[in-house]
């Protein structure tokens, strides 16, 4: 490029980059996933739709797919996938009924569900009898694992059900209940969003999770190609974890 100034060279280089990027987007296969609001992991108002959305998008980009996310209430997100209106959905736990309809990825996230408590009254949970001594608050229609759900159904512990997290943490701060059951990163995110620093300092959690759950993205079995797509996705996800990129993205939201 004889006679081209540095400024002109930079401009030409920039235009070439834009062209390459545009060509990539045009060539990339499109994939649409229905998802629910679950900040800080996934959310329509979060930067890049949240850390787990970034993980999913980057892993798919690695294998030549461009992902778009459509946000719905959780039940409708699943319905959209079941009706074939989207390619897949996330994040979901494995169940027999879901495995009959969908292919599952390897775990995209390990959820850690813990007991949150008010520091003025730390629970001592060293036996089943001790577990029954406290009152609890949890979400309506939420499952807390087979063992704990059986105890709740048998009314062996006193469980209050509420519709939102602000109400649950409010009850805990007022000592109306002893324990709030919630995913660890989600709980602390909600505290930062809705409560003062003074209130946050009153809340802690039992270190040992009472439940660990693996969450997955799922693609319909109607399209047999989806099995191979998820195999490639799993390999890309493994590469992200090996490189440290996965941990780098999750570090944005894992704040206690």
Q: Rounded to an integer, what distance in angstroms lies between the CA atom of residue 223 and that of residue 234?
A: 18
pLDDT single digits (tens) 97-140? 899 999 999 999 999 999 999 999 899 988 778 888 899 998 87
pLDDT single digits (tens) 199-232? 999 999 999 998 899 999 999 999 999 999 999 9
Q: What CATH number should be reported for the domain whose range is 111-212?
A: 3.40.190.10
Beta strands in 88-134 (DSSP E): 88-92, 102-104, 109-118
Q: How many CB atoms lie within 10 A of CB 196?
A: 9
Residue 244 half-sphere exposure toward CB, CA atoms < 13 A: 0
CB 67 within 8 A of CB 25: no
11 pLDDT more than 70 = no
Instruction: Tell me which H or E stretch contains 136.
Output: strand 135-139
Nearest by Cα to 103 from 7, 233, 205: 233
The dihedrals phi and psi of 203, each to the nearest 5 degrees, come to -110, 140
Q: Where are the domains of the chain?
A: 6-110+213-250, 111-212
Q: Would you give the distance in Å from CA 197 to the centre of its chain?
A: 25
Same fold, 6-110+213-250 and 111-212: yes
Residue 252: the pLDDT is 81
Pairing of β 65-71 and β 88-92: unpaired
Q: What CATH number should be reported for the domain whose range is 6-110+213-250?
A: 3.40.190.10
């Amino acid at each position: 490029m004889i006679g081209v100034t540095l400024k002109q060279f930079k401009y030409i280089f920039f235009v070439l980059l834009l062209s390459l990027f545009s060509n990539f987007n045009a060539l990339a296969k499109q994939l649409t996933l229905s998802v629910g609001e679950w900040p800080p992991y996934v959310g329509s108002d979060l930067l890049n739709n949240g850390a787990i959305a970034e993980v999913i998008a980057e892993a798919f980009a690695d294998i030549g797919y461009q992902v778009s996310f459509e946000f719905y209430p959780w039940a409708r997100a699943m319905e959209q996938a079941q009706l074939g209106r989207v390619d897949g959905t996330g994040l979901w736990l494995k169940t027999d009924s879901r495995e009959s309809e969908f292919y599952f990825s390897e775990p995209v996230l390990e959820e850690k569900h813990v007991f949150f408590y008010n520091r003025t009254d730390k629970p001592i949970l060293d036996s089943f009898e001790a577990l029954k001594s406290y009152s609890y608050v949890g979400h309506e229609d939420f499952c807390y694992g087979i063992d704990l759900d059986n105890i709740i159904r048998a009314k062996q512990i006193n469980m209050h059900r509420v519709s939102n997290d602000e109400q649950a943490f409010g009850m805990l701060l007022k000592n109306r209940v002893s324990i709030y059951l919630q995913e660890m990163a989600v709980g602390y995110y909600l505290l930062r969003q809705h409560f003062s620093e003074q209130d946050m300092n009153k809340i802690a959690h039992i270190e040992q999770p009472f439940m660990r759950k693996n969450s997955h993205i799922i693609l319909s079995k109607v399209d047999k190609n989806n099995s191979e797509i998820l195999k490639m996705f799993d390999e890309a996800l493994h590469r992200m974890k090996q490189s440290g990129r996965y941990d780098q993205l999750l570090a944005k939201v894992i704040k206690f």
